[in-house]
Structure 1
Amino acid sequence: MKRQGLLAIPLALGALGLGYGAQSLSSRPHGGQESALLEAFMAAPPPAADTHQSAQELRQLRAQRSANGLAEPSAGSPVDLEIRVALLAASQEPNLSATGRWQLVGRGGQLLERGQPGQVVNLDLFRRTAPEAWLQSDGAALVVNGNPYAGRIRIVNSGGLLSVINHLPLETYIQSVVGSEMPSSWSIEALKAQAVAARSYALAHMARPANRYWHLGDNTRWQAYRGLEATTPRTRQATASTAGLILSYQGAIVESLYAATRAITQEAHGHLGASMSQHGAQELAQQGMRYNAILGSYYQGASLARLRSGSR
């Protein structure tokens, strides 16, 4: 693939890495609960000083990466980040229910409505009485226009026009994106490469949200997301085995672009930066490449970094 630059989203740079403040990512219905605050850090080495020796070491490192793949950071504790995904098509005419008993709760925590499994939420009543509500169900999937979703559903009412936003754990979201973007029957190493690329792309948009209510949409304008219907044991395996791993470049998150084929990556992303061919990733995996070598071949100059929880 033609060598290109990396489209990276800069964040606050610390002495040993980069800190990403995720304040208010765990938004909950208001009602006396304190706002959750979680900080995620990427364990990545700082860029080397710009000297002749450092440049030589960097060339050697890149040659090593071409052969062995990007170095994998040490394991860390999972980071409980929440992502907000707009279900754009569903927002036009939403039909909401759940596979279990559900509640519709207002912004102030008041109960607006409750229902049994399969019972449809009365949105006409909601449109007349509340600016915002949360659909939630303990342990059951929430159903939006016939498709099941994990987490919670936030409905924002703007003069009768509704926005439907899925709030869910980042890793649960990645499990679905992998299955929405790639056939889950593909090589596990290709699926793992897709998981890292999808997570890095998602983090870039969490740092730079598309809207005051949501980070990114659910269609291919961002990256495809089909909820629980796209989640399989193999996409869960690919996500779990790369948990917390993202791509980093000089202390910033790489907005890891990708597309189905090399031709499409060149046409769609050639002017933006490095981009992964999904079919190319599958071909490399079938040749025996591990996911980190696949990523290194497409996102040249990047490093793998791992999100970890802690304080600054």
Structure 2
Amino acid sequence: MRLIQPLLLTLTASVAAAASVVVLTDGLTVWSSSLETDAMLSALVNGDHSATRSPHQSTDRASVRDTTSVYAISPDGYSIDPLLRVALLSQRPVRIVQPQGRTTCSTSEGAPVSPVTLRKLLRGTTEAWLHCGTAEGSVKVNGRTYQGIVHLINRGEGWIAVNEINMERYVASVVGAEMPSGWNEEALKAQAVAARSYGLVHLIRPASPDWNLGDTTRWQVYAGQASSTARSLKATEDTRGLVLSHQGGLVETLYAATQTIVEQAHGHLGASMSQHGAQKLAQQGLTYIQILERYYNGAILARIRRDG
């Protein structure tokens, strides 16, 4: 089981609101007390992705004799919904960017960029950082719609589009892209928890100073608004804020389509979920909690939340 240590963390006095992960087991609430840097904690609450320091990680696998279970908890209560920056690597090269509604693109200094100028810039090699859309709006990139803001970045190696989106919206899209929406709702819920845990790991440990993770199978598939279905949205809402923890660390919830792929691709890394296996278990009557317990033995559910 791949872990990120520590899990999350009480903010220091320099940050107004404290964020913690509450670990819930058998009615007992355990608060993580390990401290991280101000920048890392601020990133989790405020969506500041400039922090690139990576916490210590362990690759120890949980013992199959570990009797700790993934416990059921109510999805009620407020959970923080941090911002992720997702690199739209599937949309390279970036050819057409169209903010929807009345929104436009602008430079990093706030100067508006007209559609004509934007098209010229995308065809060129000028280094720049542009912002398109608003947090509540949407932007089309090469014809595909993404909610939230899209940053266009060129550091001399061509343009890359980065979608800045809230975690819960991101999870709903990943669930719809990674699993057929017609699958059993318990399998979809298990996928939602796994996707959220994986996304949070890469919020803490970004792949690049400019973005947290990509949108391809190298990370987990994210297809924007197109893969957010009614059932993926419900699975996300029913598990809102829930992630997997093990011994105070955040589990990097690896998964793959089948058990064969799991063993070939992830066998040396620790616990990993088979998506088709999760569907079969759900059809047999297992809940999403029991499915997660089957694949991530020894893990427990935790909720991201804000104190105060």
TM-score normalised by the chain length of structure 2: 0.79
After superposing the two structures, state which structure 1 stretch, 214-223 or 104-113, moved more: 104-113
Distance 1:77 1:130 in 2: 41
Distance 1:187 1:247 in 2: 21
Answering whether residue 164 of structure 2 is matched by residue 145 of structure 1, we say no
The aligned residue for residue 120 of structure 2 is 124
Distance 1:206 1:131 in 2: 24
Distance 1:280 1:174 in 2: 20
Answering whether residue 11 of structure 2 is matched by residue 16 of structure 1, we say no
Alpha-carbon distance change, 36 to 60 in structure 1, aligned in 2, over 3 angstroms: closer
| Percentage identity across paired residues of the two chains | 42
Q: Which amino acid aligns with 2:101?
A: G
Could you say what the CA RMSD is over the residues aligned between the two structures, in angstroms?
Answer: 2.9
TM-superposed CA distance for 1:138, in Å, is 7.3
TM-superposed CA distance for 1:159, in Å, is 2.7
Distance 2:307 2:170 in 1: 22
TM-superposed CA distance for 1:22, in Å, is 4.4
Deviations 1:206-253 (A, max 9, x none): 111100000000000000000000000100000000000000011111
Residue pair 2:106, 2:130 contacting (<8 A) in 1 also: yes
- Of structures 1 and 2, the larger Rg is shown by 1
Distance 1:200 1:138 in 2: 23
Alpha-carbon distance change, 150 to 159 in structure 1, aligned in 2, over 3 angstroms: same
TM-superposed CA distance for 1:87, in Å, is 0.4
Alignment of 1:171-210 (within 5 A): 171-210=168-207
Q: Secondary structure at the match of 1:23?
A: helix
TM-superposed CA distance for 1:295, in Å, is 0.1
Distance 1:177 1:309 in 2: 24
Alpha-carbon distance change, 27 to 243 in structure 1, aligned in 2, over 3 angstroms: closer
Distance 1:147 1:25 in 2: 28
Residue pair 2:135, 2:147 contacting (<8 A) in 1 also: no
Alpha-carbon distance change, 26 to 300 in structure 1, aligned in 2, over 3 angstroms: closer
TM-superposed CA distance for 1:160, in Å, is 6.5
Alignment of 1:35-114 (within 5 A): 61-62=67-68, 65=69, 70-72=71-73, 75-113=76-114
Q: Which runs of 5+ in 1 are unaligned?
A: 1-5, 29-34, 38-54
Q: Secondary structure at the match of 1:222?
A: coil
Distance 2:152 2:245 in 1: 34
Q: Secondary structure at the match of 1:89?
A: helix
Alpha-carbon distance change, 13 to 246 in structure 1, aligned in 2, over 3 angstroms: closer
- Aligned with 1:287 (options 284, 288, 302): 284
Paired residues in the alignment total: 271
TM-score normalised by the chain length of structure 1: 0.78
Alignment of 1:291-306 (within 5 A): 291-306=288-303
Distance 1:78 1:103 in 2: 31
- Aligned with 2:228 (options 231, 236, 239): 231
